[in-house]
Amino acid sequence: MFPPPQCLFRRHADRPPLMIFSTALVHPTDAVSQHLRTRSIMFETITVTERLTPTTTSHNAGAKVSAAAAPPPNGSALRRVGSIARNAFREAVRDRVLYNLVFFVLLLTGGAVFIGDLSAAQEAKIIVDMSLSAMLLFGVFIAIFVGVGLVYKELERRTVYAIFAKPVGRGEFLVGKYLGLCLTLAVNVAVMGAGVSLALAYVRGGYDPLILSIWPAVCLIFVELMIVVAVALLFSSFSSPALSALLTFAVFIIGHFSADMKLLAASTGTTSAKIFFGALYYLLPNLSHYTVITDAGHGLSPAPAAFVVAILYAFVYIGVLLSASILIFNRRNFK
């Protein structure tokens, strides 16, 4: 059977249509054989192409996997961590965590007026003691009750699956959440410190040296809150929010009695008790270095060497806690 003329037109587009049609009519046998040869060549071409396509696809897939496994640029990881930190801060603002500052400042200003009238030349010291203690108390509540929910909320809402579907590591996720809550606490502490300074200026009728001497104590309170947030994040990486809050509050209380823990370990007679209390002393954070509220009320600032050592100790301890949190969180199964 002769091939249809339109097939010849389609297979031999590089030849003039009149020549193809005339060849098919005058020499039908040559046209049929040429058509069969063309179809054979096309079939072999398709076969070779199909054999090469999987190799090319696998090569491209391997290139994509290698590109995904390659470490990201130096700025990309920082940008991802910064984005998560900003989102954590915005979420804290939406949860109205920062709205307690207005109430705190108003309460502090009103209390300063009454305390100035009732106390005898002790109004400044009472204001500093009361305000710094309230600053630490408010900060610890925010650090514990918001910190233990940083991971749990994402798991409860199942938004963590959408986050990890993107090129975001679990370590970057935890570090970003931690920095976001620390930023929230920094705003809290800064506004509270400004409120204390304004209250002191109002009571003293102007500038007073005590206004500047309280800021090292404010900085140490913030560093202590950073440690508490790291502890809360560690417990929340493997336990429930209620248990994490309880354990974090216990660490906060014991950390303020670290010196007594060391004395208790030395005074006990049994070896097991010495090992137990000694382990608690070295494992739990020593938060007594950051309690300078009484000295700040008397206008005393911590020594520069002690201040620097306390900050370095906090950074090292926070680094250890974050590393442990990332290690536990990487091994956690979300199914």
Q: Which residues of the chain have pLDDT under 70?
A: 1-75, 97-98, 100-102, 104-106, 108-109, 112-113, 116-121, 334-335
- Whole-angstrom distance, CA of residue 182 vs CA of residue 178: 6
Would you state the pLDDT for residue 118?
A: 65
Structure tokens at 132: 């710094």
- Whole-angstrom distance, CA of residue 313 vs CA of residue 308: 9
Would you state the pLDDT for residue 101?
A: 65
Would you state the pLDDT for residue 147?
A: 86
Would you state the pLDDT for residue 225?
A: 95
Would you state the pLDDT for residue 322?
A: 94
Q: For 228-271, write each residue's pLDDT tens digit.
A: 999 999 998 888 889 999 999 999 998 988 878 778 777 777 77
Q: Helices 149-157 & 215-236, crossing angle to 10 degrees?
A: 40
Q: Rounded to 5 degrees, what angle do the CA atoms 103, 106, 111 make?
A: 120
Would you state the pLDDT for residue 106?
A: 67
Would you state the pLDDT for residue 250?
A: 92
Would you state the pLDDT for residue 131?
A: 83
Instruction: Give the list of residues 6+ apart from residue 50 with CB closer than 8 angstroms, or none.
Output: none
Would you state the pLDDT for residue 109?
A: 66
Would you state the pLDDT for residue 232?
A: 93
- Whole-angstrom distance, CA of residue 267 vs CA of residue 170: 44
Would you state the pLDDT for residue 100?
A: 67
Would you state the pLDDT for residue 312?
A: 95
Would you state the pLDDT for residue 2?
A: 47
